[in-house]
Amino acid sequence: MSTTQIPDWAKEFTGELEETKATKKATEFETLLSETKAGSFVEGECYTGKVITVTDDYVMIDIGYKQEGLVFAKEFRNYDGSLKVKEGDEIEVYLEKLESHLGNLVLSKDKAEILQAWDKISEACEKGEPVQGTVIAKVKGGLSVDIGVKAFLPGSQIDIRPTKNLDKFIGKKMEFKVIKFNKKRGNIVLSRRAILAEERGKLRDETLSQIQEGMIVKGIVKNITDYGAFIDLGGVDGLLHITDMSWGRVKHPSNLLAVGDEINVKILKYDSAKERVSLGLKQVLPNPWETAKETYIVGTKVSGEIVSVKDYGIFVELSDGIEGLVHVSEVSWTNVKGPIKGHNVGETIEAQVLEVDIENKRISLGIKQFLDNPWDALIAKYPKGKEVEGTVKAIVDFGVFVDLGEDIDALIHVSDLSWTKKNVNVASEFNVGDKVKAAVLTVDGDNSKFCLGIKQLEEDPWKKIEARLPVGSVVEGEVMRVTDFGAFVELETGIEGLVHISELSEERVEKPEDVVKVGEKIKTRVMSIDKDEKKIALSKKNAENADLGAYAQQEAGSTSALAEKLKGFNVKE
């Protein structure tokens, strides 16, 4: 039979056979193609895929494999919980498994980013280049930073200076340097301080090259101390001392400035060798003393706040940088020596301008000028010579203070206690509370003096001494004291005269005590009287000479000679 002649039933069978072979070949080709395609995807590698579907739980991604892969949606969430992916986005993913128990690819975006991040970190560390990251949380000892992987930023590496408030950095994007990393352990340590130090170094060189004394520059308050503030001028710190902060009084720098404040300051001094800069803040402001003469006119009333109270006066701040002093003598008409009472720091008071000294930056003030002057009433009430009676209020070395029932106490000076008593011991003569009578001597409001005298109640015995003890008369008296140069003899109560050693005897006298004794009564002749100095010169040897004529002949020479001898001797002693 010819092969070309095939029965119809055979043809039908042959056709089915050919179709079966074709189908088999197609299936085998598809399987081979699938196996070849699957073989090009390797677990543990990263691939680019396209987002097919986005749900709250998963994101479906096609990487060109025979089936899509799933990624947990949490890997795409922002810090606020929102998803940062949408359908159609192309992203890098990490192939964890070719087939899960559900039959799909298992992918991870985070692991893909981690692999990429480690490559960048390794390269940045080798080259010393910075990496960018976002602070995501505060952790023990520092901050956690997302630089593609989680890294640790120690507290000491956050800033150039210590920082206590770490919360302010959370969510901020910044540059860091990788100072240590271990890929196997997954440890990465960052430093922001290193970045800032490099930037500050460059800025410092630039600032130092431009800085000059007298310049006014901008700066930021970096740190505040008890004695001033450190100002960052741009990589260079300058010291603003407390005395250069304000023309006025500054209790503490923190009352005027706060860390972070931006201020204009003047460069007062620059030491290029030590790279030290001294700054002034008040120097960029007007000096209030330049207009003080026109602002504070003598005789006008001003008001201000008490900033200090001392024993010697009250300091009053009249305006920023201008202070006046109310001297203790200008606080009250009566209390002229202090301590000052009734005035406290922080109070506002009114005062009168008494003097303005621009050169020395001083303004003298007075507050007693607004009070009634009690001295006016005293002057009218207590004329000189008036006899008064009062109570001893206080006893001092130089006298006693007497209360007459006035706002001002009167003083009886020790020299006004007696005409004749010398070296009076006030404490032994008076007691507090004693009643005393005295005469008014002085009421001086300008010098704040109210003086009394007890001895002025009686006539000065020296006033008419010559009438009672005329020169040439012989008088009897008691020897009160014997000295090397003579003897003092009391002629009347409190009235003494001196018998010089040369007038004790006609014979030469080596020691006065060989001739006279204390307590002995002797006769002497009055040789001379000096009322102003309260001195009386006596002679024992002349008193014994009854020949007045002889005395008269000797008087001219002996009196002058004796007066010469008595020079330098105080009869009062």
Q: What is the pLDDT of residues 223-260, one digit of tens each?
A: 899 999 998 887 788 899 998 888 878 889 998 899 88
- Whole-number Å distance between alpha carbons of 419 and 456: 8
Q: What confidence score (pLDDT) does residue 326 get?
A: 92
Does residue 514 lie in a domain region? yes
Q: Which of 284, 305, 340 is the last residue of a domain?
A: 284
- Quick one: which of 387, 427, 393 has its CA closest to 411? 393
- Quick one: which of 342, 488, 337 has its CA closest to 411? 337
Does residue 201 lie in a domain region? no
Q: What confidence score (pLDDT) does residue 30 get?
A: 54
Domain that holds residue 543: 465-565
- The separation between the first and the last C-alpha atoms of the chain, rounded to the nearest angstrom, is 186
Instruction: Based on the fold, state whether residues 301 and 272 are members of the same structural domain.
Output: no
Instruction: Based on the fold, state whether residues 173 and 219 are members of the same structural domain.
Output: no
pLDDT bracket for residue 273 (50, 70, 90): confident
DSSP letter, residue 564: H
Element housing 38 (H / E)? helix 8-39
392 forms beta bridges with 402
| 3-class secondary-structure state, position 492 | strand
Indicate whether 289 pLDDT > 90. no
Indicate whether 13 pLDDT > 50. no
DSSP letter, residue 556: H
Indicate whether 358 pLDDT > 60. yes
Overall domain count for the chain: 7
Instruction: Based on the fold, state whether residues 505 and 536 are members of the same structural domain.
Output: yes
Is the bond into 253 cis (omega within 30 degrees of 0)?
A: no
pLDDT by residue (tens digit) across 163-198?
778 888 888 898 888 888 776 676 888 888 888 877
Q: Write a three-state SS string for 120-174.
A: HHHHHHHHCCCEEEEEEEEECCEEEEECCCEEEEEHHHCCCCCCCCCHHHCCCEE
pLDDT bracket for residue 525 (50, 70, 90): very high
Which of 324-338, 452-466, 505-519 has maximum average pLDDT? 505-519
pLDDT bracket for residue 125 (50, 70, 90): confident
pLDDT bracket for residue 561 (50, 70, 90): low
Instruction: Based on the fold, state whether residues 136 and 92 are members of the same structural domain.
Output: no
Does residue 92 lie in a domain region? yes
- Whole-number Å distance between alpha carbons of 563 and 570: 12
Does residue 320 lie in a domain region? yes
Q: What confidence score (pLDDT) does residue 573 get?
A: 39
Instruction: Based on the fold, state whether residues 241 and 171 are members of the same structural domain.
Output: no
pLDDT by residue (tens digit) across 130-147?
888 899 888 888 999 888
Instruction: Based on the fold, state whether residues 296 and 361 are members of the same structural domain.
Output: yes
Q: Which of 320, 353, 370 is the last residue of a domain?
A: 370
Q: What CATH number corresponds to the domain at position 445?
A: 2.40.50.140
Q: What confidence score (pLDDT) does residue 553 get?
A: 44
User: Could you give the C-alpha distances from 468 to 250, 418, 422, 458, in angstroms and in order?
Assistant: 74, 20, 21, 17
Average pLDDT on 367-394 reads 88
Q: Which of 370, 404, 435 is the last residue of a domain?
A: 370
Instruction: Based on the fold, state whether residues 346 and 264 are members of the same structural domain.
Output: no
Does residue 39 lie in a domain region? no
Instruction: Based on the fold, state whether residues 349 and 259 are members of the same structural domain.
Output: no
Instruction: Based on the fold, state whether residues 493 and 561 are members of the same structural domain.
Output: yes
Does residue 56 lie in a domain region? yes
pLDDT by residue (tens digit) across 36-71?
444 578 887 888 889 888 888 888 888 888 888 888
Contact 35, 48 (CB under 8 A): no
Rounded to a whole number of angstroms, the CA Rg of the chain reads 56
Angle, CA of 112, 115 and 118, to the nearest 5°: 145
Does residue 389 lie in a domain region? yes
Amino acid letter, residue 135: V
Instruction: Based on the fold, state whether residues 440 and 360 are members of the same structural domain.
Output: no
Average pLDDT on 410-439 reads 87
- Which range has the worst mean pLDDT, 485-499, 527-541, 559-573? 559-573
Does residue 397 lie in a domain region? yes
Indicate whether 361 pLDDT > 70. yes
Instruction: Based on the fold, state whether residues 548 and 495 are members of the same structural domain.
Output: yes
Average pLDDT on 90-109 reads 80
Q: What confidence score (pLDDT) does residue 181 get?
A: 76
